[in-house]
């Protein structure tokens, strides 16, 4: 592992870059000044991570948050471990420093800003401990581990990714490590590379998989320690042990800027409503955070919709009411934000989807084989009509489907704008299920609100104008230049993951806590993955999962929002957010979600 920069004192940063430009052959002329400046950012971290440290037990052995018995049975080798914390070496216990380590790392799932700094933190830790250490980056996500595809991480290929967004140093993927074949293949790669450790950077599912792999390896008496790192822009990997998943901070700051811009666009042009759908399928943390950042006229929170059993027509009415009320004040513009997963939280849509999934799985009576759900049934008919762009046929199939639904669901399907009815009936995933996540709920709502307002206009209860523009803010938030927070947090997590491996811990999630304080004050260590687990019914099986954290309606973040939202609905007191800065007063500001939760 050739070392160049990791061992250099970074005092003369400009010199380093000037010589690195030649040494590393980076085509720096292709970089913006900002990207260059960020290359030179030195992540802040707790001093304990710089020198000799020990990893000590910090709690009694932990049970799973629920279903401890089942979890215990599934993870006999990695369950009931204590939390561990990294502290200055106190003279007792072994000093493991200096041991050359062989470690692998992979990205799992959608990208999130900061991922490269996990690699950088881990790399710097390994390189500082022993220059003979080796770091392997598995390519394209978990499949790289299964198939043994990797690259050696060196300062030479890592340097240009420091503090930069994206996962493209290694790529990512959504392959799971679940089946016995996959587990065996992954283990085989670990053995072949003689890995002391494997770091899996991912969300709740990927970390569950990490734990399954840790258990598998421990059972097989392999030496590879498996450590998870909490990643997800949705912010739903968050619990009593974990204060934040990385990527949320950067993503929210970008989304908030865009929503703020759209809010001022609305009030400047005074003629449209911007309907913005934001990422967050299982939880509404992003929408809630962006609401607090921007003060939109309305922010719909999925968890509240579910709690209040709000149906689609009820939500449409709620928006139409706001439009009417604002219109009476002469305001025919505004901004409304909603989370990606919204419609799935509505009880009527939920029923409709369940019924559709059943109907679509039904066989056509002429076909006898029950094994292949996709052949010759309603599903295929729908498919064929759709693929051929045969509108007549589509209409016929939808009507046939509607006849097999309950009256409530058939009525709901009939009330949907035609394009959405088509989409629900025609667009299915490889398992034949309705692709709820593809529903553009912001368009659905905008169209239905428009229809409702036309009705009200005819009834004389609405005299204004209504015009909507829809937006989905999603992918553009996953690979931005990481905020200072995400740079620091990820770098620290990378070092911590290295420290846990060095000390032989497996089945842990690397963590840092006290995150609202300066990074120098963060406490770092690991929490056993099983301690965050419970059993859940998935695809007909009881499965161990790390629960996603949803918005807590009794919690301080939602309560703050609830207290203020009425003021925002009519007054247009939007908050100017602006582009995320790396210098100046706001550069180290955290999200409200972090600050208020504290």
Write out the two tokens for 449.
């609100």
- From the list 5-13, 58-66, 158-166, 365-373, the region that binds its own copies by CB under 8 A is 158-166
Question: Binding string, 249-278, against its own copies, x = CB under 8 A?
Answer: -----x--xx--xx-xx-xxxx---x----
3-state secondary structure of 294: helix
168 lies in the binding site for its own copies (CB under 8 A) = yes
C-alpha triplet 321, 322, 323: angle, nearest 5°: 90
State the nearest-atom distance from the C-beta of 335 to its own copies, in Å.
Answer: 10
State the nearest-atom distance from the C-beta of 377 to its own copies, in Å.
Answer: 22
State the nearest-atom distance from the C-beta of 313 to its own copies, in Å.
Answer: 16
Is residue 475 part of an annotated ligand binding site?
yes
Is residue 110 part of an annotated ligand binding site?
yes
- From the list 41-49, 167-175, 310-318, 368-376, the region that binds its own copies by CB under 8 A is 167-175
DSSP 246: B
Q: How far apart are CA 290 and CA 278, in angstroms?
A: 9
Is residue 11 part of an annotated ligand binding site?
no
Please give, one letter per residue, the 3-state secondary structure of 318-371.
HHHHHHHHHHHCCCCCEEEEEECCHHHHCHHHHHHHHHHHHHHHCCCCCCCCCC
Q: Do residues 596 and 270 make contact, with C-beta atoms less than 8 angstroms apart?
A: no
- Provide the pairing of β-strand 134-138 with 150-152: antiparallel
CA distances from 186 to 30, 183, 320 (A): 37, 5, 53
589 lies in the binding site for its own copies (CB under 8 A) = yes
326 lies in the binding site for its own copies (CB under 8 A) = no
DSSP 163: T
Task: Give the DSSP H or E segment for 546.
Answer: strand 541-546
User: 512 to 541, contacts with its own copies by CB under 8 A?
Assistant: none
Q: Nearest Cα to 378, choosing from 394, 401, 355?
A: 401
- Cβ distance to its own copies smaller for residue 111 or 121: 111
Question: Binding string, 547-576, against its own copies, x = CB under 8 A?
Answer: --------------------------x-xx
- Provide the pairing of β-strand 508-513 with 225-230: parallel
Q: How far apart are CA 523 and CA 28, in angstroms?
A: 36
DSSP 137: E
476 lies in the binding site for its own copies (CB under 8 A) = yes
307 lies in the binding site for its own copies (CB under 8 A) = no
- Cβ distance to its own copies smaller for residue 128 or 250: 250
How many residues touch its own copies under the rule CB under 8 A: the total is: 67
28 lies in the binding site for its own copies (CB under 8 A) = no
The CA R_g of the chain, rounded to the nearest whole Å, is 26
Q: Is 234 a catalytic residue?
A: yes
Q: What are phi and psi of 231, to 5 degrees?
A: -125, 135
Q: How far apart are CA 149 and CA 193, in angstroms?
A: 11
- Cβ distance to its own copies smaller for residue 294 or 530: 294
173 lies in the binding site for its own copies (CB under 8 A) = yes
458 lies in the binding site for its own copies (CB under 8 A) = no
State the nearest-atom distance from the C-beta of 16 to its own copies, in Å.
Answer: 16
172 lies in the binding site for its own copies (CB under 8 A) = yes
Catalytic residue among 68, 205, 234, 236: 234
Q: How far apart are CA 10 and CA 41, in angstroms?
A: 10
> Which member of 223, 471, 534, 565 binds its own copies (CB under 8 A)?
471
Tally of CB atoms within 10 A around 351: 16
Residue carrying structure tokens 């368009």: 443
State the nearest-atom distance from the C-beta of 88 to its own copies, in Å.
Answer: 35
Q: Nearest Cα to 44, choosing from 565, 423, 588, 567?
A: 588
Question: What's the distance, CA 249 to chain centroid?
Answer: 11
457 lies in the binding site for its own copies (CB under 8 A) = no
> Which member of 8, 23, 36, 97 binds its own copies (CB under 8 A)?
36
478 lies in the binding site for its own copies (CB under 8 A) = yes
Is residue 504 part of an annotated ligand binding site?
no
Is residue 233 part of an annotated ligand binding site?
yes
Residues designated as active site: 234
Instruction: Using CB under 8 A, list all residues that contact its own copies.
Output: 27, 30-38, 107, 110-111, 140, 164-168, 171-173, 254, 257-258, 261-262, 264-265, 267-270, 274, 295, 389, 391-392, 394-395, 417-419, 469, 471-472, 475-481, 573, 575-586, 589
User: Residues within the annotated binding site?
Assistant: 110, 204, 232-234, 279-281, 340, 475-478
């Amino acid at each position: 592992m050739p070392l160049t920069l990791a061992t250099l004192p970074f005092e003369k940063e400009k010199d380093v870059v000037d010589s690195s430009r030649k040494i590393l052959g980076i085509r720096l002329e292709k970089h913006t000044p900002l990207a260059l400046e960020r290359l030179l950012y030195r992540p802040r971290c707790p001093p304990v991570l710089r020198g000799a440290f020990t990893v000590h037990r910090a709690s009694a052995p932990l049970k799973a948050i629920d279903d401890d018995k089942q979890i215990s049975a599934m993870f006999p080798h990695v369950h009931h471990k204590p939390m561990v914390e990294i502290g200055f070496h106190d003279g007792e216990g072994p000093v493991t420093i200096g041991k050359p380590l062989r470690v692998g790392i992979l990205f799992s799932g959608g990208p999130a800003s900061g991922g490269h700094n996990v690699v950088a933190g881990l790399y710097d830790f390994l390189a500082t401990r022993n220059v003979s250490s080796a770091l392997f980056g598995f390519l394209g996500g978990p499949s790289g581990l299964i198939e043994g595809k990797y690259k050696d991480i060196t300062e030479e290929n890592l340097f240009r990714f420091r503090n930069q967004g994206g996962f493209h140093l290694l790529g990512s993927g959504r392959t799971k490590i679940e089946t016995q074949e996959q587990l065996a293949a992954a283990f085989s790669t670990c053995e072949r590379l003689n890995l002391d450790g494997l770091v899996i950077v991912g969300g709740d599912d990927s970390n569950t998989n990490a734990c399954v792999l840790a258990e598998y390896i421990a059972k097989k008496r392999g030496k590879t320690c498996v450590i998870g790192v909490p990643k997800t822009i949705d912010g739903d990997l968050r619990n009593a042990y974990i204060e934040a998943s990385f990527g949320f901070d950067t993503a929210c700051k970008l989304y908030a800027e865009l929503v703020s811009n759209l809010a001022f666009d609305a009030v400047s042009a005074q003629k449209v409503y911007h309907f913005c759908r934001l990422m967050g399928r299982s939880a509404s943390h992003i929408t809630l955070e962006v609401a607090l950042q921007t003060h939109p006229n309305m922010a719909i929170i999925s968890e509240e919709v579910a709690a209040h059993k709000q149906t689609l027509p009820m939500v449409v009415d709620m928006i139409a009411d706001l439009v009417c009320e604002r219109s009476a004040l002469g305001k025919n513009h505004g901004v409304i934000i909603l989370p990606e997963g919204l419609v799935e939280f509505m009880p009527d849509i939920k029923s409709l989807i369940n019924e559709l999934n059943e109907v679509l799985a039904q066989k056509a009576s002429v076909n006898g084989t029950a094994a292949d759900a996709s052949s010759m049934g309603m599903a295929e008919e729908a498919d064929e009509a759709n693929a051929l762009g045969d509108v007549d046929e589509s209409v016929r199939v939808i009507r046939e489907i509607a006849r097999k639904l309950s009256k409530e669901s058939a009525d709901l399907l009939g009330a949907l704008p035609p394009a959405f009815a088509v989409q629900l009936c025609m667009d299915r995933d490889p398992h034949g299920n309705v692709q709820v996540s593809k529903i553009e709920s912001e368009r659905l709502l905008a169209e239905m609100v428009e229809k409702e307002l036309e009705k009200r206009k005819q009834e004389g209860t609405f005299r204004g104008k209504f015009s909507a523009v829809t937006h989905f803010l999603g992918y553009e938030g996953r690979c931005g230049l990481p905020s200072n927070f995400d740079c620091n947090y990820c770098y620290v997590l990378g070092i911590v993951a290295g420290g846990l491996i060095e000390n032989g811990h497996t089945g842990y999630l690397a963590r840092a806590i006290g995150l609202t304080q300066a990074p120098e004050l963060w406490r770092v260590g690991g929490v056993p993955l099983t301690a965050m687990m419970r059993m859940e019914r998935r695809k007909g099986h009881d499965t161990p999962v790390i629960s996603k954290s949803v918005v807590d309606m009794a919690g301080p973040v939602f309560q703050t929002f609830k207290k203020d939202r009425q003021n925002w609905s009519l007054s247009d007191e939007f908050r100017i957010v602006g582009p995320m800065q790396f210098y100046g007063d706001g550069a180290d500001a955290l999200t409200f979600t972090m600050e208020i939760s504290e």
